[in-house]
Amino acid sequence: MIRKENDPMGQAIHNYHYLNDATPVIVNTSITVDEELPVSYLFRNYKEMPLLEKKAMDLVKGRVLDVGAGAGAHSVYLFEQGYQVFSIDVSELSCEVMKSRGLVNVDTKDIWNLEPQKFDTVLFMMNGIGLVKTLEGLNVFFEHLKKYVTPDGQVLLDSSDLKYMFTDDNGAYWLDLNSNYYGELDYNLKYKHLVAAPFSWLFVDFERLKLAAENSNWFVELIYKDDHFHYLVKLTLKH
């Protein structure tokens, strides 16, 4: 759980919801500097969602677990469609906002310490799979996920291949082959006077994700891929 005093993202979500304060979150990573994240985007409705997310919402079935739900954009939409939605996030403030928005099953937890229970759909939107931090973390992650998916259930997740970030004007890649995988990033978030502790986050290309998932006996279906190397996959357990 991230406490209020150490939670730039949660503070931003809380202030936008209760005070209409649109001050953006400043995002720094190991490959980008001072990018602004508009907090209003975290409250988007279905019409405002990118096509990838709309496709994910349209595939949802049954009892739903929304992991890293944030301000609850996906949870609120699905709840309004009549789904039984369980929303979890490590941010105490974000969970408070989701409850204020009418969601009834909200818990301040992450997928690692959630008690095992079965869902028909498990969502990891906005590159929620990044919580595994490293390529090696994918193996543990895909085994752990089995605790939360019914035999005929599904996992919907998106990620991006960041290789394009390392391409020069001639289309050549300038990756350091001796360094860590290029999708393993260090993150730091800032909101007003609050600065979060640095954390690691993974963006993984489809082929590596597919290999890791198949090694854990998941069937991997590529649902959608856009022009910016962002993709959506559906995972189902092999029988």
7-58 pLDDT, tens digit each: 999 999 999 999 999 999 999 999 999 999 999 999 999 999 999 999 999 9
pLDDT, average across residues 79-96: 97
| 1 or 189, greater pLDDT | 189
pLDDT at 6: 83
pLDDT at 4: 76
25 has which bridge partners? 37
Q: Would the pLDDT of 87 be above 80?
A: yes
Element of type H or E holding 234? strand 230-237
CATH number, span 4-50+61-105+115-237: 3.40.50.150
Tokens standing for residue 61: 């079935």
The domain limits of the chain are 4-50+61-105+115-237
Tokens standing for residue 18: 């209760």
DSSP class of residue 204?
A: -
| 4 or 158, greater pLDDT | 158
CB atoms within 10 A of CB 228: 9
Q: Kindly report, residue by residue over 111-135, the tens digit of the pLDDT.
A: 999 999 999 999 999 999 999 999 9
Tokens standing for residue 104: 């009834």
Tokens standing for residue 15: 């202030």
Tokens standing for residue 91: 């941010």
pLDDT at 227: 86
CB atoms within 10 A of CB 130: 23
The proportion of the chain whose per-residue pLDDT surpasses 70, expressed as a percent, equals 95
What is the Cα–Cα distance from 69 to 89, expressed in whole angstroms? 6
Question: Within its chain, how far is the Cα of 34 from the centroid?
Answer: 20
What is the Cα–Cα distance from 211 to 199, expressed in whole angstroms? 25
The chain-wide mean pLDDT, for the chain, equals: 94
- Residue matched to tokens 């962002």: 230
Q: Collapse the DSSP code of 201 into the 3-class scheme (helix H, G, I; strand E, B; otherwise coil) and give the result.
A: strand
Q: Kindly report, residue by residue over 159-195, the tens digit of the pLDDT.
A: 999 987 776 666 656 566 667 899 999 999 999 999 9
By CB atoms closer than 10 A (0-12, 13-18, 19+), residue 34 is exposed
Q: Collapse the DSSP code of 167 into the 3-class scheme (helix H, G, I; strand E, B; otherwise coil) and give the result.
A: strand
DSSP class of residue 84?
A: -
What is the Cα–Cα distance from 43 to 236, expressed in whole angstroms? 29
pLDDT at 180: 86
pTM of the model: 0.94
